[in-house]
Amino acid sequence: MKTIGLIGGMSWESTAEYYRLLNEFTRDRLGGLHSARCVLYSLDFAEIEQLQVQGRWADAGEILAAAAQSLEAAGADLVLICTNTMHKLADVVGAAVSIPLLHLADATADAVRASGLRRVGLLGTAFTMEQDFYRGRLEAGGLDVSIPDAEGRALVHQVIYEELCLGIVREESRTAYQKVIKDLIAAGAEGIILGCTEIELLIGPGDSPVPVFPTARLHAEAAVDAALSDAQNDTATTPASR
């Protein structure tokens, strides 16, 4: 199995989910006591969040790029940014290393297309919902993406930073998110992308009348597929045919 490099800590609540998911998918694929080969570089989210608010994306890019380089030096064969919002810097991070960066939006778009859907609503931080770096990537992947109205976007963003990133899960917030989801469906969404990894702590399939696409889970599954692909091909190839 290839070694998966994780740029995490943004927040650590969702990074912990990544670690659990990577190991569960590996166990399910390989059986027995197998677990994922991975290395984690966990950043201080307070520092990153301040750079986000101040619009200092170049400075944040330097931090994430250095983290990716550290992962490569530690033996990672591919790298994941364990947050949707910081994929704003995916090109910068990818250019800093010689190993592949597995883009979260690509894994998500693949899953939506595989389900047969095209029109989706997007929930995430204000950066993810309102800026083009993420929506544009989804749309380039063939999806029709809608976002909540201004009030809904403010609510979704606030719950992420003031509750979910702190490990706080409130039923009132789940109800509020369900209303935002219903509004997106009324506007034509056939599915809902949970475009912030922390949202999966609050919203699951039972909270929406249409399919939800949990991005951390999809990203982790794609990473395990990538990490095992060559190894499984090698297993199926006899030494004489190599």
* Catalytic residue set: 83, 196
Residue 200: DSSP 8-state = G
Give the whole-angstrom CA distance, residue 75 versus residue 18.
19
Structure tokens at 177: 């998110």
Q: How many CA atoms lie within 13 A of 35 on its CB side?
A: 7
Residue 1: DSSP 8-state = -
Give the whole-angstrom CA distance, residue 104 versus residue 122.
14
Asked whether 139 and 108 are in contact (CB, 8 A), the reply is no
Burial of 210 (C-beta count, 10 Å sphere; 0-12/13-18/19+):
middle
Structure tokens at 96: 């800093």
Nearest to 90 by CA among 71, 106, 73, 75: 106
Phi, psi of 79 (to 5 degrees): -130, 145
Alpha helices of the chain — where are they, by DSSP H? 12-30, 45-54, 57-73, 90-95, 104-114, 126-130, 132-140, 150-162, 171-186, 215-235
